[in-house]
Amino acid sequence: MALRNLAPNSSYWYTGEVCLKFPPKTVSPGLPALLLDKRRKSDFMDYSAPRLQLQTFLFYVLTQATHILLKNLGLPLLVSQILAGLILRLPNFGDYRYLFIRNSDDSILVLGAMGGFGYLFFLFLSGVKMDVSLTFKSGRKAAYIGFLTVLVPLLACLITNKVFHPEDNFFNTNKFFLAVSYAGTSFPVIHNILSELKILNSELGRLGLSAALIGDMVTLVLTICSLWMKAQGEVGTKRVLQDVGWAILFLVIVVFVLRPGIKWMVKHIPETSQKKDICFYLVILAFMLSPRITKQFHLHAKFGSFILGLVVPDGPPLGSTLVEKLDPIISGFFLPIFATTCGIRVDPDSFKKDSKFRINQSIGAVVTVVVKFGVSLVLAMFCKMPMRDSLALAFVMISKGIVEIGYYSSMFDSMVISKPHYAFLIYMSTLIAIIVPILVKWLYDPSRKYLCFQKRTIMNSKPNQELRVLGCVHVPGNVNSIINLLNVCCPTRQSSLALDVLHLVKLSGRATPLFIAHQKQELTTSGDFYSENVVIAFKQFKRHNAEVVSLNVFTAVSPSNLMYEDICNLAIEHSTCFILLPFHRRWYIDGSIESEDQTTRSLNCNILEMAPCSVGILVEGRRKVSFSAFRDPPSSQSYSSYNIAVIFMGGKDDREALALAKRISQDESVSLTVIHLKAKNNIGTILAENDRAFDDEMLSGIKGSIRYLEEQVSDGPETSNFLRSIVKDYQLFIVGRRYKCEDPQTSGLGHWCEFEEIGIIGDLLSSPDFIGNYSVLVVQQQHQRNS
């Protein structure tokens, strides 16, 4: 029968002959029924449903087996998926009749339909994650890179085509269409590689994302224009002008009707209401109808899905809901089928019937990639980026991935490119996908900027010098804890406090990380949604301490595993000497666990390892210890004494804890006690001589002015018993982390330490076995890391 298939622009068609079997065999009657069928007219794998299940299982097994071998090289999963498809082209796989992969058009059609559906859904979700408004806020550097890395390679490809075909028009429609596909930039692909390399929040990552966003928009416009140019030679100028008018009408409806309507619906439906699901299902329904709708407006289905995704507001509540519910099945099931099917369709034998046109186009594609790399490198160096960073950015900008592979597959389906041409483009894209992550990982190490050779510690801050603190907030309960502790630090005119507050929000439903500086009045709608209460609380704290506290509040919306980048970057920029982190576990009054967040724990561990200054982890007590007295201005005389103890055993972390305690002791309402735990007869102490000297010097400076106690202990259990006897006498304990420090005072306790990030003593004081209304602040002095 004759079947009309879509050309690259859905307004235009070509006709071909396809053989279909009726009635189609979909669901088998079951293996037992087939085995009992004496006539054996049907085979189990003649039915599309069980065949598809077997194929999907085979895809998964081959992909995972390949990825296990390649993941240590840093290669993305996409490479393993394509290689799995290429493996299935081998004779030992493809000719096996039960697989029905190589020689069955029906099989490829079913797989292609499923993969194509997943690809359209992927484009839709990619649009949902993108914030087009950021194209106008990206800055000149990103704009230059975004525009020129598309336009200059496009021009180079056209010049190459002119050299090989001097008789052709410079803007030959077919060649211009192909040149755009070679030179284009894909935001989802670059976002994916930056995420996998864990540099999304880095300086390079942010620049690459901004440039990719602009480049993607330029590529989208050029692709639509190239399709119109191609169609102009096929159906005439009048028809193309009509299509342009329909496309403009579609954009007007999308921008001025559909997007405002979705925003209104999201705003007026309460988040806790069951009606909020209406938005979700309406958007899914719109996606399902988008191919038919965009066809009426003479646009390709993939453009309709992508533009519809751009219409949906990114981030919570709607954008994040769509991504969280749909992304796992799309990325985990449909896209792998699509990528592997694209690999299966590659025919290496097709190169035997090669053509001059394909060879010339392949050379043009290679020239385009080389020129794109060169332009990116030159622009990065012009922006005074280091050579290694410039090379890394250049490799990122030439990345190829699932978007390009899908584009080439669409052109192959529409007979725009031949089998050998398609095979070459898939091979080239796979090779680039292999090379880029390896080289970028080797060239760019964002942790280099954390190498800080200045001493940014509390010890090295003079008593009358401004104390620069960075407080991190995850949940509302962290706000009061930090404010209460800072009030205890007693900021005065002689010893003021420069406070930076960073509200950390998990990136969800959007692709681009956000960093909002509220003091610069950059509080956008998204910023209000994320951090309004945090900003209000800390502004009130500043008003109570107007003359002694300076305040900057920020919001960082980023992936949980990369939040340490935002914290460390802010600490470096503001010369912070102390980062204050909340502990990942919180307790109820009765000692049961209220909440526990392992991502927060991982973040704390990363900060302890990477921080360019000293770090403190605040472990809240089993009840919300009320420092309400300290919420008044420092001049108030209404509050009573507050007991704080420093557990000192020696070492740089304990000295840093003692330095912080000395600042706190300036407040007359604070009763500070330094408890020096010493090993009996100094047996087994392993402190170096210079550490002993520093400890003695530090202690000699407080004796006489601060209450000082010495306690002789012989081992860990004795230390535990002593601490258990005093926990009811204090509201706050300040201890050093003393990571991997073995002493007689803690011998035998290390094996029972549950949380290494707060050290043995901190873990002991946080144990449920210790009953008391107190909090613990664990301090780690800045690590001097070597380059």
Q: Higher confidence at residue 37 or residue 317?
A: 317
Note whether 228 and 244 are within 8 A (CB): yes
More confident position, 63 or 698: 63
At 474-492, the pLDDT tens digits run 988 888 888 888 887 767 6
pLDDT of residue 628: 40
**In sequence order, which residues have a C-beta less than 8 Å from that of residue 72 and are 6 or more positions away?**
none
- What is the mean predicted confidence (pLDDT) over 333-346? 88
Task: Please report which confidence band the pLDDT of residue 622 belongs to, taking 50, 70 and 90 as the band edges.
Answer: low
pLDDT at residue 784 in the model: 67
pLDDT higher than threshold 80 for residue 621:
no
With H, G, I as helix, E, B as strand and everything else as coil, classify residue 503: strand
232 pLDDT higher than 80: no
SS3 552: strand
In percent, how much of the chain has pLDDT > 90?
16
* 142-151, 541-550, 771-780: range with lowest mean pLDDT: 541-550
Residues 566-571 have a mean pLDDT of 90
* pLDDT over 80 at 398, yes or no: yes
Contact 662, 702 (CB under 8 A): yes
What type of residue sits at position 542? K
Sequence letter at residue 582: P
Structural contact between residues 158 and 170, judged by C-beta atoms closer than 8 angstroms: yes
Residue 780 confidence class, pLDDT cut points 50, 70, 90:
very high
* pLDDT at residue 25 tops 90: no
Mean pLDDT of all residues belonging to the chain: 80
Give the pLDDT confidence score for residue 17 in this predicted structure: 60
Pairing assessment for the beta strands 585-587 and 707-713 based on DSSP bridges: unpaired
Asked whether 511 and 129 are in contact (CB, 8 A), the reply is yes
What confidence score (pLDDT) does residue 292 get?
82
The span from the CA of 409 to the CA of 586, in Å, is 52
Residue-level pLDDT at 465: 78
pLDDT at 451: 66
**HEC profile of 559-584:** CHHHHHHHHHHHHHHCCCCEEEEECC
Q: Coil, strand, or helix at residue 480?
A: helix
Q: Find out whether 674 and 726 touch, Cβ atoms under 8 Å.
A: no
CA nearest to 340, candidates 88, 631, 8:
88
Mean pLDDT of all residues in 421-440:
92
109-128 pLDDT tens trace: 777 788 888 888 898 888 88
Measured from the Cβ of residue 707, the count of other Cβ atoms closer than 10 Å reads 13
More confident residue, 636 or 567: 567
Query: Long-range CB contacts (< 8 A, 24+ apart) of 693-698?
Result: 694/652, 694/655, 695/648, 695/650, 695/651, 695/654, 695/655, 698/655, 698/658, 698/659
Which residues make Cβ contacts (< 8 Å) with residue 654, sequence separation at least 6?
647, 648, 695, 735, 736, 738
Distance separating alpha carbons of residues 484 and 735, to the nearest angstrom: 18
Three-state secondary structure of 352-412? HHCCHHHHHHHHHHHHHHHHHHHHHHHHHHHCCCCHHHHHHHHHHHCCCCHHHHHHHHHHH
Length of the chain, in residues: 787
Among 283-292, 389-398, 401-410, which stretch is predicted with the lowest mean pLDDT?
283-292
Average pLDDT in the 91-107 region?
53
pLDDT at 472: 93
Confidence of residue 18 (pLDDT cuts 50, 70, 90): low
Mean pLDDT across 642-663: 87
Report whether pLDDT(684) > 70.
no
Spatial distance between the Cα atoms of 244 and 249, rounded to a whole number of angstroms: 9
User: Tens digits of per-residue pLDDT, 233-258?
Assistant: 666 677 778 878 888 888 888 888 88
When pLDDT is averaged across residues 144-170 and rounded to a whole number, the result is 85
More confident residue, 632 or 143: 143
Kindly report, residue by residue over 699-746, the tens digit of the pLDDT. Answer: 887 776 788 888 888 888 888 888 888 888 888 899 998 887 778 888
Identify which has the larger pLDDT, 771 or 682. 771
pTM above 0.75, yes or no: yes
Higher pLDDT, 47 or 282: 282
* pLDDT over 70 (residue 176): yes
Instruction: Say yes or no to pLDDT of 524 above 50.
Output: no
Write the CA distances from 708 to 9, 580, 660, 685, 693, integer angstroms: 82, 26, 16, 21, 18
pLDDT digits (tens, 9 = 90+) for 348-390: 877 777 678 778 888 889 999 999 999 999 999 998 888 999 9
Amino acid making up residue 164: F
The C-alpha angle with vertex 738 and arms to 733 and 739, in degrees rounded to 5, equals 125
Which pLDDT belongs to residue 6?
Answer: 40
* For residue 13, pLDDT beyond 50: no
Q: Which two tokens stand for residue 252?
A: 């007007």
Residue 632 confidence (pLDDT) above 90:
no
pLDDT band at 526; cut points 50, 70, 90: very low
SS3 33: helix
- The string of DSSP codes covering 264-306 is HHHHHS-TTSTTHHHHHHHHHHHHHHHHHHHHHTT--HHHHHH
Name beta bridge partners: 550: 498
Q: Which residues pair with 50 in a beta bridge?
A: none
**Cα 224 to Cα 245: distance, rounded to the nearest angstrom:** 13
Q: Is residue 700 classed exposed, middle or buried when 0-12, 13-18 and 19+ CB atoms within 10 A define those classes?
A: exposed
4 DSSP β-pair partners: 15
Instruction: Quote the pLDDT of residue 150.
Output: 92
Pick 460 or 778 by higher pLDDT: 778
By C-alpha distance, which of 25, 47, 43, 26 is closest to 34? 43
Cα separation, 490 vs 486, whole angstroms: 7
Q: Which residue in 10, 13, 7, 14 sits closest to 290, CA to CA?
A: 10
Cα 571 from Cα 566, distance rounded (Å): 9
When comparing pLDDT for 235 and 510, which is higher? 510
Report the range of poorest mean pLDDT among 427-436, 526-535, 640-649.
526-535
- Give the pLDDT score at 440: 92
**CB-CB contact of 774 with 625 (8 Å):** yes
The residue with greater pLDDT, 630 or 598, is 598
Please say whether the beta carbons of 37 and 328 come within 8 A: no
Give the pLDDT of residue 276: 67
Confidence of residue 3 (pLDDT cuts 50, 70, 90): very low
Question: pLDDT: is 604 or 104 the higher one?
Answer: 604
* Average pLDDT for 648-661: 88
Q: Are strands 578-582 and 614-619 parallel, antiparallel or unpaired?
A: parallel
Per-residue pLDDT, 511: 82
- For 266, half-sphere exposure in the C-beta direction (CA atoms, 13 angstrom radius) is 21
- Residue 37 CB neighbour total at 10 angstroms: 12
Exposure b/e, 409-437, CB count within 10 A at least 16 = b = bbbbbbebbbbbbbbbbbebbbebbbebb
Which secondary structure element, helix H or strand E, spans residue 609, and what is its range? helix 598-610
* DSSP SS3 for 558: strand
* Res. 98: pLDDT tops 70: no
- For residue 5, the model assigns a pLDDT of 43
Task: For residues 43 and 34, give the distance between their C-alpha atoms in angstroms, rounded to a whole number.
Answer: 7
What is the CA 646 to chain-centroid distance, rounded?
A: 39
User: 614-619 and 775-780 as β-strands: parallel, antiparallel, unpaired?
Assistant: antiparallel
User: What distance in Å separates the CA atoms of residue 686 and residue 746, rounded to the nearest whole number?
Assistant: 12
Report the share of the chain in percent with pLDDT over 70: 81
**pLDDT class for 28, splitting at 50, 70, 90?**
low
In this structure, are residues 698 and 650 in contact, taking their beta carbons and an 8 Å threshold? no
